Structure 1
């Protein structure tokens, strides 16, 4: 893999993970996006709809489609936010809580399996590298650097 670019390895790995999660979710008549949404919604308090997109890293239009589908399937319900009359809280239904637990088990199985095959030291390095990449991107230190001349 040393001849592959960093972005290629990230993209290929994420695509493999997404494909695996979608295949597993398909066994439960679901999708990875639905499972991720179920895990991102506070099961006790609900979650403001406006907070879900940023939490999941999803664009509003994709999230709207996912939430609409989840509502149609009886996984969630929308309720007025008592702290903000203009806002809406997304709450899990009992069925949504059941499916959330399935999603949670799928994610835990993935994590446990990876941890069995990769040492804590290597995983810590992986997290450190991912954090540096995210920091470089968020602080615009890759393409938006100020060019100085001598």
Structure 2
């Protein structure tokens, strides 16, 4: 392509970020999806499984696979929701809490390094542009 399109830049950047997180997570027998899922679970109170998918922007079927993986790795346990017998709360195990902290450290380091290399003004513009794009999509103003 002679000129990069906006969607190309977004996609290529996200793929690079995703690869970076997956490479880092693999050092701890994890993945980006596992890290983001752990960060979406309240470390003390537990979280309804339905809230995790919305926090992650993930389809329910993908979340089911991710939660199964988390459970198999001993990172979470599921308990019935005492306030809603139909629902399930997801709790972190001690190992899950440790991996959650590692994920948090990784995300904070990424943010720190980006902030060290991009001015606050440029970063604010980037956030504004991303917000406008998300609004245009949400409000179905493109298609």
CA RMSD of aligned residues (A): 1.2
Report the Cα distance in structure 2 between the residues aligned to 1:90 and 1:56, rounded to whole angstroms: 15
Partner of 1:80, secondary structure, is strand
- The reply to whether residue 47 of structure 1 matches residue 47 of structure 2 is yes
Runs of 4+ in 1 over 2 A off after TM superposition: none
Shift of 1:60: 1.2
Residues 62-77 of structure 1 correspond to what in structure 2 (within 5 A)? 62-77=62-77
Residue 127 of structure 2 is matched in structure 1 by 127
Shift of 1:2: 8.7
Q: Secondary structure at the match of 2:24?
A: helix
SS of the aligned residue for 1:89 comes to strand
With 11-20 and 42-51 compared, the bigger mean Cα shift is at 42-51
CA drift of 1:131 comes to 0.3
TM-score by length of 1: 0.93
Where do 1:5-44 residues align within 5 Å? 5-44=5-44
Task: Mark the runs of 5 or more structure 2 residues left unpaired by the alignment.
Answer: none
- TM-score, normalised to structure 2, is 0.97
Larger Rg: 1
* Structure 1 unaligned regions, length at least 5: 144-150
Q: How many residues align?
A: 143
